[in-house]
Amino acid sequence: MTEATDKAQQYYLEGLKHYGDDDYSAAAEAHRKALEESPEWTDAMHGLAMALMHGGKVDEAIVIGKRICELDSEDAFAHTSLSMFYQRKSVVAREEGNAEASMGFIEDAEREGAKARMISWKEELRNNPDAPPPGPAGSMDVIQ
């Protein structure tokens, strides 16, 4: 991970505030400024990608997510985020009546989700060699 300048950190925190206020456009702008200061700072990229997704700019969010994975292929959060972005793309394609594209995006989402699970499991095994293997996708009892 690249270290951020003080100015980049200030913009990043500003972006988080805007994101918390549901002002995704301002959040994206602040994160872009952070990246002007520290171009390969993945924390700011994560913030930008999430702001873009919530602001309806899913294609741009996917580009940023892929860039994070180029910089750090073991970033489980980046793969999880890409999975979310592709799920959003799937919904849009389905709403537009394009079932084939929708299913393609679901496959992309599943692939990225699997990468995130494998990365997390490898990390768990490094920290806890006796950890049990993960169950299949969707095997956790999650109350929503």
- Region of 138 please: left (phi>0), alpha (psi -120 to 50) or beta: left
pLDDT in tens, 41-100: 999 999 999 999 999 999 999 999 999 999 999 999 999 999 999 999 999 999 999 999
DSSP states of 44-103: HHHHHHHHHHHTT-HHHHHHHHHHHHHH-TT-HHHHHHHHHHHHHHHHHHHHTT-HHHHH
Q: Is the pLDDT of residue 142 over 50?
A: no
**Does position 144 have pLDDT exceeding 70, yes or no?**
no
Q: Write down all domains in the chain, each with its CATH number in brackets.
A: 6-127 (1.25.40.10)
> Above 70 in pLDDT, residue 19?
yes
Q: How far apart are CA 14 and CA 6, in angstroms?
A: 12
pLDDT in tens, 93-138: 999 999 999 999 999 999 999 999 999 888 888 898 887 766 676 6
Tell whether the torsion through CA atoms of 30, 45, 90 and 141 is positive or negative. negative
Q: Please, which pLDDT band fits residue 24 given cuts at 50, 70 and 90?
A: very high
Higher pLDDT, 15 or 120: 15
Q: Is 89 exposed, middle or buried (0-12, 13-18, 19+ CB in 10 A)?
A: buried
User: For residue 5, which of 43, 30, 41, 38 has the smallest C-alpha distance?
Assistant: 38
Give the C-alpha separation, 105 to 17, whole Å.
Answer: 31
Phi-psi group of 68: left, alpha or beta (phi > 0 → left; psi -120 to 50 → alpha; rest → beta): alpha
